Amino acid sequence: MPTKSRIRELQEEILKLKKNENVFIAAHNYQRPEIQEIADVLGDSLELAMLAQKNIECDIIVFCGVDFMAETMSILNPDAQVYVPEPKAKCPMATMCPKSIVEKAKKEHPDLPVVLYVNTLAEAKAEADVMCTSANAAKVVEALGSDKILFGPDANLAAYVEKRTGVKTIPVPEDGYCIVHVRFTADKILELKNKYPDAIVLVHPECDMEVQEVADVVASTSQMLKYVQDSKEKKFIIGTETGLIDRMRREVSENKIFIPASETAVCRNMKLNTLEKIRDVIISKPHKNLIKVPENIAEKARNALEKMFELTR
């Protein structure tokens, strides 16, 4: 763990390099706080995907998140130079849904639309009719107007969508999940609610349905941030990765209190990105850190992503 002064030194070095080399840094809400502090944009998966429509003026984009997020950025901006600080930062949920599983489900249910969560690899996205994020999943599914859909890879998000919309979801695969969000338990949240009876409970839809059912709010990371910013309440129990709590503590009024629903909800993959790696990728731009999706896959994946924007406009 670098000292505070080392962190400040590295941040200053990156800010200088960023200016000289015309770099744009995009970061997800789960990034380490020292990365959040130097990002040009910080957001949830939807906000970061929407950056593609903003015509960012820069020579390179450094994307701090996990593989599928940087891939989405590259698919939507095929001419942009999108680099990642650490190519090993991958989302395990995305790997639970290879293209072959989607193809099999499509053969078994040829009439059903395929809705996939952005937490998928490009090869799976290319098999989808439309993509969604946790922020807009229910809206996308409602707008599709079908009474039954194939939905993957997160079975908890599928259950959330089914509950919210009444649309029958067939999960693809049957049991895709996030290794971090399944750590939250309803028992622990009920214990915390007992201890802090006036606290509002916010959880991510990647949590088990039992956990969602004891929460006051089920929302994406940036929707949770907005909720706590706008709320008149003072205490919040937060059921998502701890990086969002770092952002809340930094950006939301000092007299609000954020209680983690689990101290161990840390996404190690997100945390593989570090200030040193960001500095190094800007200096040496290694080819292995450049994200490019083959155009035959990117084109189909782009259609599914653009359909998401079209349905939720």
CA 1 – CA 19 distance, rounded (Å): 26
d(CA 68, CA 260): 26
CB of 89 to ligand SF4, least distance (A): 9
In the complex, the smallest distance separating the C-beta of residue 5 from ligand 13P, rounded to whole angstroms, is 31
Give least dist CB 74 to ligand 13P, A.
17
**Type of residue found at 299:** E
310 CB-contact burial (10 Å; exposed 0-12 / middle 13-18 / buried 19+): exposed
**Binds ligand SF4 (CB under 6 A): choice among 141, 180, 218, 281:** 180
Residue 133 contact partner, candidates ligand SF4, ligand 13P, none, CB within 5 to 8 A by sort of partner: ligand 13P
Using CB under 6 A, pick the residue from 134, 165, 212, 242 that binds ligand 13P.
134
Q: With binding defined as CB under 6 A, does residue 92 bind ligand SF4?
A: yes
Q: From the list ligand SF4, ligand 13P, none, which binds 29 (C-beta under 5 to 8 Å, kind-based)?
A: ligand 13P
**Which residue of 178, 211, 297, 298 would you call a contact of ligand 13P, by CB under 6 A?**
178
Residue 92 contact among ligand SF4, ligand 13P, none, beta carbon within 5 to 8 Å by kind: ligand SF4
Our CB check for ligand SF4 shows the closer of 206 and 246 to be 206
**Is residue 241 part of the contact set for ligand SF4 (CB under 6 A)?**
yes
**With binding defined as CB under 6 A, does residue 212 bind ligand 13P?**
no
Q: ω before 153 within 30° of 0 (cis)? A: yes
Name the segment binding ligand SF4 (CB under 6 A); options: 71-79, 106-114, 174-182, 274-282: 174-182
CB nearer to ligand 13P: give 119 or 165: 119
Query: Does residue 93 interact with ligand SF4 by CB under 6 A?
Result: yes
Considering only the stretches 53-61, 99-107, 131-139, 182-190, report the one whose residues sit in contact with ligand 13P under the rule CB under 6 A: 131-139
Pairing verdict, β 60-64 and 114-117: unpaired
C-alpha closest to that of 25 among 3, 7, 51, 2: 51
Binding of residue 274 to ligand SF4 (CB under 6 A): no
Q: Dihedral of CA 103/108/111/112: which sign?
A: negative
- Nearest approach, Cβ of residue 45 and ligand 13P (Å): 3
Does 206 bind ligand 13P (CB under 6 A)? Our answer is yes
Q: How far is the CB of 177 from ligand SF4 (least distance, A)?
A: 9
Question: Closest separation between CB of residue 19 and ligand 13P, Å?
Answer: 28
Residue 173: cis peptide before it, omega within 30 degrees of 0: yes
Looking at 47-55, 89-97, 190-198, 225-233, which segment touches ligand SF4 (CB under 6 A)? 89-97
Candidates 119, 120, 136, 274; binder of ligand SF4 (CB under 6 A) is: 119
- Residue 31 lies near ligand 13P (rule: CB under 6 A): no
**Which residues in this chain contact ligand SF4 in the complex, by CB under 6 A?**
66, 91-93, 119, 178-181, 206, 241, 267, 269-270
